[in-house]
Structure 1
């Protein structure tokens, strides 16, 4: 007989803090994140654990060790123990040690090396069995029905490499929140505790007023999907939720993107464009949009919606999120570019890259961000606004380049440097896995590694990645 899980009893001495408004959303509730960092060094598990656990006990950082509960209305709240003990630790921790080289392990041996040209290099889901500890959380119910911290650490040691996995519910933080956590963890490892800055907000919500005072309409307001439009989009794409999805990791050499960037800028200059500035990220995303939509009919009038996730931190540094103080939470918005399919096929890469850059400049202003979040705040069920139409093809991109994850410096925890020499303590490979909802055509970009290679991954309907691999081989 099925027995309903019962949440643990609330502890009267816990400090109760309501979730921030834009943390407790239906989308973030559905996602549990696992980030894996592979080091070509032997790291000290105890140094890594002790430093991260001490960080979670510091003033302003105790949300990392909070327990998740619901209030009487069903809203999420943090319950922070008055004191972290052996029974109620500040950090979930597991360590697995193998007396072998990673190359001799059936799963760890599959970690990909960079490619000399754009290529699909692995299936990140092949490593799920390696990065997932026994009883690791896979849904928000695991946090609600067990007395576990928000943050978990899983370390897998080999004789020549170390795999470091951190995991958390998306309700806790986004990619740049993770970056702030990693920076503080590094300082703790280095014995520089006095340099650690407490995150913004502490027990409050720095974004409590975001979206309450719009001064202008959003520039895409006329293209916003109504509830009927959203329902139509859902009906048109419901089969994707039942189709088999395939996950792949792509490596794109930096030299390839730089050549495309120079070519795109040259195209814009020859057309007499007023603004010819393009970032590597603009060009990488534009190139990937062309590749990821190549299975669609070339003459289609269907709308492709490019849904770019971006951090609010820089935009809000003049008022809500002052510069120099980390924001360990969800500070993510979305910038949209709407293009007909046939334009993606007919026009040069510079057209898509420039459209992306223009959207960032126009929709990323402080007033437009306020307008966007006014729509989000006023939506039914805290669902972010979507733009386009019920028949659109949506691609979501999340570029974590600004987090500079490959620059992570864990050299203070190195016991045995890389056999290959060079700087030790920095990851050679990074991937992100998630449990919960899987969004087809959602692509996180891990960033650029020390050799200049870009890494991105994502899910697509079964069979599409095979077609992309065929294209890349011919490129």
Structure 2
């Protein structure tokens, strides 16, 4: 009989803090995240380590070094050491040094480069040796069964590049929480630690979202399309094999010029259809276009539902009452989901501009303060703390998580360089960023990593084995 590994003994001097309600959910428990940043220059690993470790020891940031434990009722809590020592460190750290050029390394030599047209440019899992340290966590139990910090840093050095990977359980923070962490890390590196804000609701402070969803003032606008337990079961049974099949991961580069032209075309289409000066973001258009590409294996005249489930940061929406505005940070999870319900036939027969506009309208309509309250209210009452889903049991669901606002390519480590940057002048920004996840492998889930410093967009995702080949055929037609 399988038994969960025993947790380390409790330390009586630790500060015990329950996880926030919207951090401790089955969805976030399922993901262990790794973000790898590639810099075309040599960085000092000691400076990177010491600065991040010092940040984890600061007031308000100490949960980065917290140990995770499960209570007798099954919920999660942080055990924050009263003092970080060599025996109980504030940061998981590892460093691998290769006294060679990255071009001479059998794996690093294959790191993706931007393409001149939309294309798959690599498999992020190919680089596992470069971002996953020996013994690195790949499931929640790896944190619960060990006395280890939440945040980890793994550095791989070459004579011409430095690969910097941070990793953490999704229960710790989302993409915008990661951005706040990176901002604080850069300030620490620059010796400007007096400018680092204390995160909102940090360490032992109360959960700022403790009452979110408890006082809805209106019904969710898609409440009639909410899936029942039976509908979710039907959907799960219909897609169970997708979770059991071999999945393939790819990363896609969408060049700046292509997306600019695509957005202009979408706006022209909408103007021709009588829409007065419509507003579309690059993200709206990218998701609309990619949806058409990624469902190219489905019959084009099908009335089957296609649901675009967009992860949505609640920070701006909640800034007026629950979360801080600019100048502060929230290092936790503050994500809801905004669904867009279409049909396969809509996606193929309507213009790209139409699909993009449905995405924009959904964000405007369902991203209000009252609608976020309604959505999180349904989340609170859901069986098993699963977020509400909308659609039907036969739907084809795509999940998008757009990290563009996190501006991961703006990370500047110039204060850690040991040799001048080769491509970015006085700044030291990543030339390539990728995300990897362990635990739940979500088919048809696409993190949009964001826009690089040349204006190219990058996205990745897992699909059933063989489906990426079909997509590459479609991309070749673009």
TM-score (norm 1): 0.99
Equivalents in 2 of 1:304, 1:121: separation in Å? 27
Query: Is 1:427 matched up with 2:442?
Result: no
Residue 315 of structure 1 aligns to a residue whose secondary structure is: helix
The match for 2:296 among 279, 294, 297 is 294
Residue 316 of structure 2 aligns to a residue whose secondary structure is: coil
**How far off is 1:5 after superposition?**
2.0
**How far off is 1:422 after superposition?**
2.7
Q: What's the counterpart of residue 229 of structure 1? A: 231
Please show how residues 65-80 of structure 1 align to structure 2 within 5 Å.
Answer: 65-80=65-80
8 Å CA contact 1:39, 1:162 repeated in 2: yes
Equivalents in 2 of 1:54, 1:302: separation in Å? 53
Equivalents in 1 of 2:439, 2:400: separation in Å? 18
8 Å CA contact 1:285, 1:353 repeated in 2: yes
Query: Is 1:163 matched up with 2:163?
Result: yes
8 Å CA contact 1:40, 1:417 repeated in 2: no
Residue 460 of structure 2 aligns to a residue whose secondary structure is: strand
Structure 1, unmatched stretches of 5+, are none
Query: Is 1:328 matched up with 2:336?
Result: no
8 Å CA contact 2:112, 2:121 repeated in 1: yes
Equivalents in 2 of 1:470, 1:429: separation in Å? 25
Equivalents in 1 of 2:2, 2:274: separation in Å? 68
**How far off is 1:419 after superposition?**
3.5
Equivalents in 2 of 1:417, 1:159: separation in Å? 12
Q: What's the counterpart of residue 359 of structure 1? A: 362
8 Å CA contact 2:324, 2:330 repeated in 1: no
Q: What's the counterpart of residue 350 of structure 2? A: 347
Distance 1:406-1:71 versus aligned 2 partners, 3 A rule: same
**How far off is 1:421 after superposition?**
5.7
Equivalents in 1 of 2:347, 2:138: separation in Å? 37
Equivalents in 2 of 1:14, 1:32: separation in Å? 24
**How far off is 1:472 after superposition?**
1.2
Query: Is 1:58 matched up with 2:58?
Result: yes
8 Å CA contact 1:414, 1:424 repeated in 2: no
Equivalents in 1 of 2:236, 2:347: separation in Å? 24
Distance 1:275-1:336 versus aligned 2 partners, 3 A rule: farther
Residue 227 of structure 2 aligns to a residue whose secondary structure is: coil
The match for 1:449 among 444, 448, 452 is 452
Say what the alpha-carbon RMSD is for the aligned residues: 1.1
**How far off is 1:274 after superposition?**
3.8
Q: What's the counterpart of residue 148 of structure 2? A: 148
**How far off is 1:408 after superposition?**
0.6
**How far off is 1:418 after superposition?**
3.0
Please show how residues 231-250 of structure 1 align to structure 2 within 5 Å.
Answer: 231-250=233-252
**How far off is 1:255 after superposition?**
1.1
Structure 2, unmatched stretches of 5+, are none
Q: What's the counterpart of residue 32 of structure 2? A: 32
Q: What's the counterpart of residue 390 of structure 2? A: 387
The number of equivalent residue pairs is 475
8 Å CA contact 1:155, 1:165 repeated in 2: yes
Equivalents in 1 of 2:23, 2:361: separation in Å? 28
8 Å CA contact 1:224, 1:386 repeated in 2: yes
Equivalents in 1 of 2:470, 2:135: separation in Å? 37
TM-score (norm 2): 0.98
Per-residue CA deviations over 1:163-217 (Å, capped at 9, x if unaligned) read: 0000000000000000000000000000001100010012221100100000000
